[in-house]
Amino acid sequence: MPKVDVRRRNHIIEHRKQGRPVLFGHGFGCDQLIWEPVISYMPATIAPITFDHVGCGRSDFSAYTLKKYSDLDGYVDDLIEVIEALNYGAIDFVGHSVGGMMAMLASIKRPDLFSKLIAIGPSPRYVNDCDYEGGFEREDILELLSMMERNHFEWAGYLAPIVMKNSHRPEFADELRKSFANSDPVISRKFAEAVFLSDNRDKLSQIPVPITLLYCDVDVIVPLEVIHFMALHIPQAKLVRLDAIGHYPHLSAPENVSQEILANL
């Protein structure tokens, strides 16, 4: 079996050769370009690295299979291979949303690959369950998936302003809408299913590395109850409130987010 070119498959970009390497992982509905505003605030002492999950951005779409990426395990295994390909040993990781959750799961499998983990708006489960408040009823998620299937562009236009918030800056929502709309409709819908129907609550207590949870008070995707649940169940967790709103603060408030990343590395 031929060796996989991980750098090509995940379109890994090392933005600077000198400095402390920090790997940035994007979440659902976007690609590594979402990190550009934050990276622009990174000092010369930091060497940012970005990549695309398979099926997103400029990744190798021929590597995508429904079998491998039907749940988060395929993406988690890819992340481990990305870090191995970088050959830096244990690395600092910053992940947004499910990108942060993937890193937590990867750290359980390979704690030797992670030094520090910073997660922006992650969630172990999005669906309400008995006394657990995930933010959505299962019917809400199924309707979202159905909308994606019926009309991908309508879904993108509907969801972007809701999750972005910041109505006084409509250009943020428009930028996010374009990112949603530019994604492959079939792959994006399967990715959404893998993300929003996942349940990783039982894994939180197994996470072996220090984690900083960055969160916004107003986030329709990840309510405060979820963040506090994670802080309660992750052994080495620290909570940091961002001076921003919405699920994409790294897009709407990149300077603030970059400052908190630097302060918590």
User: What residues are annotated to the active site?
Assistant: 97, 219, 247
Residue written as token pair 């750290």: 107
Bridge partners, residue 21, by sequence: 47
The 3-class secondary structure across the chain, one letter per residue, is: CCCCCHHHHCCCEECCCCCEEEEEECCCCCCHHHHHHHHCCCCCCEEEEECCCCCCCCCCHHHCCCCCCCCHHHHHHHHHHHHHHHCCCCEEEEEECHHHHHHHHHHHHCHHHEEEEEEECCCCECECECCECCCECHHHHHHHHHHHHHCHHHHHHHHHHHHHCCCCCHHHHHHHHHHHHHCCHHHHHHHHHHHHCCECHHHHHHCCCCEEEEECCCCCCCCHHHHHHHHHHCCCEEEEECCCCCCCHHHHCHHHHHHHHHHHC
Residue written as token pair 């999950």: 53
